């Protein structure tokens, strides 16, 4: 398992010309592994419509907490994310570090068509569970097994809270859980959400241990740096 740092931004859509310098800066982060840049996509979910996605979402993966906290230190590499020069038009920004748990899928090989990008459904449970231990035990045992039955699913990831230290001036949040499912492209995500498996997911949702707060679902095009 790895540490994942999330940053979500709202405001104006980032110009395509700004994505390359952002990608270069993120890839140069000392100790970083995978870097994902998410930009808004669209889909149809028969159960949900959580409004407009973030204008930009980032996921940076590290093998240990020390490497992440060095990148977030007062003189750390990621301080530039607060600069309007690197991220023009941003009006709101949040951050959180979490433990990333990957789950197996039947066929993890991407078959993204030329000219397209993989599509990720980013999910956040933003509130609190009445009993977090019971919540995580049920969710981790039950929900990813159903997720893995989505047609042409390529990745499943569930992230849980950790304590962390960071000085990048983005607003910290403390969502109890985040997850994502990833598909070849936007059409693949839409097909999965309108398959019978989506109804199984909804039925399982009704059996979750009690929790409060919103849970949001946003479709995003995903670039891997």
Hey, what are 96's tokens?
Answer: 């959180």
Give the burial class of 91: count Cβ atoms within 10 A of its Cβ; 0-12 exposed, 13-18 middle, 19 or more buried. exposed
Report yes or no on whether pTM surpasses 0.85: yes
Residue 86 pLDDT exceeds 90: no
Contact yes or no for 137/158 (Cβ under 8 A): no
CA atoms within 13 A on the CB side of 208: 19
Length of the chain counted residue by residue: 225
As a whole number of angstroms, the longest Cα–Cα distance in the chain is: 50
Residue 88 pLDDT exceeds 90: no
Task: Kindly report, residue by residue over 158-216, the tens digit of the pLDDT.
Answer: 999 999 999 999 999 999 999 999 999 999 999 999 999 999 999 999 999 999 999 99
Task: Kindly report, residue by residue over 28-82, the tens digit of the pLDDT.
Answer: 999 999 999 999 999 999 999 999 999 999 999 999 999 999 999 999 999 999 8
- Domains, the chain: 2-224 (3.30.70.100)
**Can you give the pLDDT at residue 181?**
98
Q: Which DSSP string corresponds to 17-82?
A: HHHHHHHHHHHTSTTEEEEEEEEE-----SS----SPPSEEEEEEESSHHHHHHHTSTT-GGGGGG
State the Cα–Cα distance between residues 38 and 18, nearest whole angstrom: 13
Confidence class for position 148, pLDDT limits 50, 70, 90: very high
Residue 87 pLDDT exceeds 90: no
Task: Kindly report, residue by residue over 104-119, the tens digit of the pLDDT.
Answer: 999 999 999 999 999 9
Confidence class for position 18, pLDDT limits 50, 70, 90: confident
């Amino acid at each position: 398992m790895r540490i994942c740092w999330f940053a979500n931004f709202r405001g104006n859509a980032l110009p395509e010309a700004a994505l390359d310098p952002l990608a270069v800066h993120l890839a140069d982060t000392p100790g970083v592994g995978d870097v994902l840049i998410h930009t808004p996509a669209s889909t149809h979910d028969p159960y949900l419509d959580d409004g407009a996605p973030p204008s930009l979402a980032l996921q940076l993966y590290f093998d240990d907490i020390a490497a992440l906290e060095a990148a977030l230190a007062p003189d750390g590499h990621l301080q530039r994310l607060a600069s309007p020069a690197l991220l023009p038009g941003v009006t709101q920004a949040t951050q959180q570090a979490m433990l990333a748990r990957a789950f197996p899928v039947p066929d993890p090989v991407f078959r993204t068509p030329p000219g397209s990008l993989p599509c990720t459904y980013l999910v956040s449970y933003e509130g609190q569970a009445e009993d977090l231990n019971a919540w995580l035990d049920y969710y981790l045992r039950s929900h990813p097994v159903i997720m893995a039955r989505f047609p042409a699913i390529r990745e499943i990831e569930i992230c849980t809270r950790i304590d962390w230290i960071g000085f990048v001036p983005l607003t910290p949040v403390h969502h109890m859980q985040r997850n994502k499912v990833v598909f070849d492209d936007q059409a693949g995500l839409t097909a999965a959400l309108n398959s019978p498996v989506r109804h199984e997911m909804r039925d399982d949702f009704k059996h979750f241990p009690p929790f409060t707060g919103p849970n949001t679902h946003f479709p995003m095009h995903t670039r891997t740096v």
